[in-house]
């Protein structure tokens, strides 16, 4: 057997037969512990936020030594909770010209005190993405919110916010994708659309009115009629001349054919 193996066996024997330094509790110590009262959590609600900091309600009941838990003097308390700091990507569509507010703390964290957190924003212009390499720093005047007023089409893209607590620990990261539509491309007038579906004739354009609903001037209508009549007369004249030339040539052709026979 090698020297290293003998050394390991000697070390194991030494540890096995060495006196234990931990003291054993006596009966007096156990009796003293039975007199100590403490609080135990008997019920805990789910976290109010699926991501980021939230609140949880807990029920605390006193434990009277060996007497067990007393349910007569229970009390409720509210504590912070954090299941995950990643909130994923949320998208929304807005119309240019309106006011859009992107809130990073939202209701729960705002109720805890917005000054207890540090919020930073980043922006990926023109794309809906969660690829962090595409984001650049974005300066928000309200710190915890991005206010776009008025909203412009170049504001389309993805906004990312990161929230740190006073200990510089990340407690939330959220992506908000914004799609900006032009007012001319999107109409949300449901009542007007319903009237048009109930009266299909309203969908057909009126030949005597412009696209704005105003009637054409009388001179415009008169000129359109004169042009139409002139074109019709010219077509009739051309067709008449062609027919006259055709029938004038037919007798000569017939006489030539008879002479050949």
Closest CA to 128 of 164, 95, 88: 88
Name, in order, each residue with C-beta under 8 angstroms of 99's C-beta and a sequence gap of 6 or more. 147, 148, 149, 150, 151
* β-strand pairing of 170-181 with 86-95: parallel
Residues above pLDDT 90, as percent of the chain: 30
What's the CATH code of the domain at 104? 2.60.40.10
Per residue in 60-104, pLDDT (tens digit) is 888 766 566 767 778 898 888 999 999 999 999 999 999 999 998
Mean pLDDT of the chain: 77
Element (H, E) at 177: strand 170-181
Question: Is 93 within the bounds of a domain?
Answer: yes
Say if residue 66 is in the same domain as residue 141: no
pLDDT of residue 8: 44
Say if residue 90 is in the same domain as residue 80: no
Question: Is 5 within the bounds of a domain?
Answer: no
Say if residue 72 is in the same domain as residue 134: no
How far apart are alpha carbons 8 and 130 in whole angstroms?
55
Question: Is 157 within the bounds of a domain?
Answer: yes
Say if residue 45 is in the same domain as residue 114: no
Say if residue 57 is in the same domain as residue 67: yes
Say if residue 69 is in the same domain as residue 124: no
Question: Is 48 within the bounds of a domain?
Answer: yes
pLDDT of residue 33: 60
Per residue in 94-133, pLDDT (tens digit) is 999 999 999 988 877 777 777 888 999 999 999 999 999 9
Question: Is 239 within the bounds of a domain?
Answer: no
Say if residue 61 is in the same domain as residue 122: no
Question: Is 147 within the bounds of a domain?
Answer: yes
Question: Is 29 within the bounds of a domain?
Answer: no
Question: Is 73 within the bounds of a domain?
Answer: yes
Query: How many CB atoms are closer than 10 A to CB 188?
Result: 8
* Cα distances (Å, whole numbers) of residue 92 to 9, 73, 191: 70, 48, 24
Position with higher pLDDT, 257 vs 177: 177
Query: How many CB atoms are closer than 10 A to CB 149?
Result: 9
Decide if pLDDT at 256 tops 70: no
Element (H, E) at 224: helix 218-260
Say if residue 95 is in the same domain as residue 143: yes
Query: Do 49 and 32 contact (CB within 8 A), yes or no?
Result: no
- Write out the two tokens for 96: 């240019």
Closest CA to 174 of 146, 151, 152: 146
Domain stops at, among 181, 205, 235: 181
* Domain residue limits at 109: 86-181
Number of domains the chain is built from: 2
Taking residues 163-170, what's their average pLDDT?
90
* β-strand pairing of 118-125 with 136-138: antiparallel
Say if residue 97 is in the same domain as residue 164: yes
pLDDT of residue 101: 94
Taking residues 230-237, what's their average pLDDT?
86
How far apart are alpha carbons 150 and 99 in whole angstroms?
5
């Amino acid at each position: 057997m090698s020297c290293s193996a003998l050394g390991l066996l000697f070390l194991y024997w030494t540890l096995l037969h060495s006196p234990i330094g931990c003291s054993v509790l006596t009966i007096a110590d156990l009796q003293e512990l039975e007199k100590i009262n403490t609080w135990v959590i008997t019920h805990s609600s789910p976290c109010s936020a699926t991501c980021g900091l939230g609140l949880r309600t807990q029920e605390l009941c006193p434990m009277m030594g060996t007497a067990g838990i007393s349910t007569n003097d229970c009390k409720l308390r509210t504590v912070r909770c954090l299941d995950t700091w990643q909130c994923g990507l949320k998208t929304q569509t807005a119309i240019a010209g309106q006011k859009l507010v992107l809130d990073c703390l939202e209701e729960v964290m705002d109720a805890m005190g917005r000054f207890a957190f540090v919020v930073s924003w980043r922006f990926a212009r023109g794309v809906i993405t969660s690829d962090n390499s595409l984001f650049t720093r974005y300066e928000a005047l309200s710190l915890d919110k991005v206010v776009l007023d008025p909203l412009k089409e170049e504001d389309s893209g993805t906004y990312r916010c990161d929230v740190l607590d006073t200990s510089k620990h990340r407690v939330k990261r959220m992506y908000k994708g914004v799609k900006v539509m032009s007012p001319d491309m999107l109409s949300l007038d449901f009542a007007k659309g319903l009237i048009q579906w109930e009266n299909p004739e309203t969908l057909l354009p009126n030949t005597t009115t412009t696209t704005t609903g105003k009637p054409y001037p009388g001179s415009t209508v008169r000129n359109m009629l004169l042009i139409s009549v002139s074109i019709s007369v010219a077509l009739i004249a051309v067709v008449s001349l062609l027919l006259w030339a055709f029938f004038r040539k037919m007798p000569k052709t017939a006489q030539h054919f008879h002479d050949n026979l």
